[in-house]
């Protein structure tokens, strides 16, 4: 059974930082590209970032580029998202996801359609 378990969320002031983690199990982690998506209150799901399986190529949504960093440790079956210079508009539930739908196209294109997604970790940015 595929499981994705996020952690690391919390309450942080604007300009602060957080590091999110997502531990995967039930599949060969190193074989799969992984992504982060988020959903703010009252808004639709938004793609944040994707990292490829072995080469570690990355892509980011324009809204987070330069502030967020996606990475992975295949030996630990863990995906990370470093969130720096956080803004109030980053407040959302953050989910890790795998197995993007084919309709999303190439790996670096934005995508919110995934076969598997974790239960999420809440990030709240507020003073």
The string of DSSP letters for 15-38 reads T--EEEEEEEESS-GGGS-EEEEE
**Rounded Cα gap, residues 122 and 127, in angstroms:** 16
The per-residue pLDDT for range 2-47, each reduced to its tens digit, is 999 999 999 999 999 999 999 999 999 999 999 999 999 999 999 9
**Rounded Cα gap, residues 83 and 90, in angstroms:** 9
The per-residue pLDDT for range 60-80, each reduced to its tens digit, is 999 999 999 999 999 999 999
Residues 16 and 8: beta-carbon distance below 8 Å: no
Per-residue pLDDT for 54 more than 90? no
| pLDDT (0 to 100) of residue 33 | 95
**Rounded Cα gap, residues 73 and 43, in angstroms:** 31
Residues 83 and 22: beta-carbon distance below 8 Å: no
The per-residue pLDDT for range 76-125, each reduced to its tens digit, is 999 999 999 999 999 999 999 999 999 998 888 999 999 999 999 999 99
């Amino acid at each position: 059974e595929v499981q994705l378990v996020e952690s690391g969320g919390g309450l942080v002031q604007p300009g602060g930082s957080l590091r999110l983690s997502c531990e995967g199990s039930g599949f060969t982690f190193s074989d799969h590209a992984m992504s982060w998506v988020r959903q703010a209150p009252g808004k639709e799901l938004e793609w944040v970032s994707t990292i490829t399986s072995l080469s570690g190529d990355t892509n980011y949504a324009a809204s987070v580029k330069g502030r967020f960093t996606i990475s992975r440790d295949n030996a630990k079956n863990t995906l990370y998202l470093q969130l720096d210079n956080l803004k109030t508009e980053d407040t959302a539930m953050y989910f890790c996801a795998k197995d993007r739908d084919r309709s999303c196209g190439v790996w670096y294109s934005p995508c919110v359609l995934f076969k598997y997604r974790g239960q999420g970790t809440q990030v709240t940015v507020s003073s």
